[in-house]
Amino acid sequence: MKKLVFFSLIVVALCSFKFYDEPNPLLGKWEWKKVYKKGPMAIMLLFRNNGTYDGFANQKSFVTGTYRLKKDTLYISDPICNSKYEGTYKMTMYGAQDSVRFDVIADTCKGRVEGANATVYKKIKAVK
């Protein structure tokens, strides 16, 4: 009986560590939209399998950088502040991994924090 309980605990622990390891839940296009007094704003992020990403504001490119994931933590860098410095964000996935929220852990890049902290992006579905 003790062996069965111990084995069950091991299986549960191993399953919990695999949540973000495979596949990469950020791959693809993500979008955030808001309407301001001056008009609508749409931010689209494209995360690639090679660890690079692009950011678009109202369909115009504004940033290209690199990222990496470690479980539920996103490490991201870009030349807007310093491409050698990585900001660190807690990543929370919702639903069927079709929404993601980023919460700053540590980032001295004011522009990136303002654009990402506590922001929920929705996955853009591929059109068939």
In a domain, 45, yes or no: yes
Q: Which residues fall within 8 angstroms of residue 74, CB to CB, at 6 or more apart? A: 26, 67, 68, 88, 89, 90, 91, 102
Mean pLDDT on 33-58? 93
How many domains are there within the chain? 1
Q: Give residue 88's domain range.
A: 25-123
Tell me the one-letter amino acid at 77. Answer: S
In a domain, 50, yes or no: yes
Tell me the two tokens of residue 80: 């807007």
CATH of the domain at 43: 2.40.128.490
Shortest CA distance to 76 belongs to which of 26, 15, 8, 2? Answer: 26
User: pLDDT-based confidence at 22, cuts 50/70/90?
Assistant: low
Taking the model in full, what pTM does it have? Answer: 0.77
Tens of pLDDT along 74-95? 999 999 888 889 999 999 999 8
Tens of pLDDT along 97-108? 999 999 999 999
User: Which residue in the block uniquely carries the two structure tokens 């003790």?
Assistant: 2
Alpha-carbon span 85 to 82, nearest angstrom = 5
Tell me the one-letter amino acid at 109. Answer: C
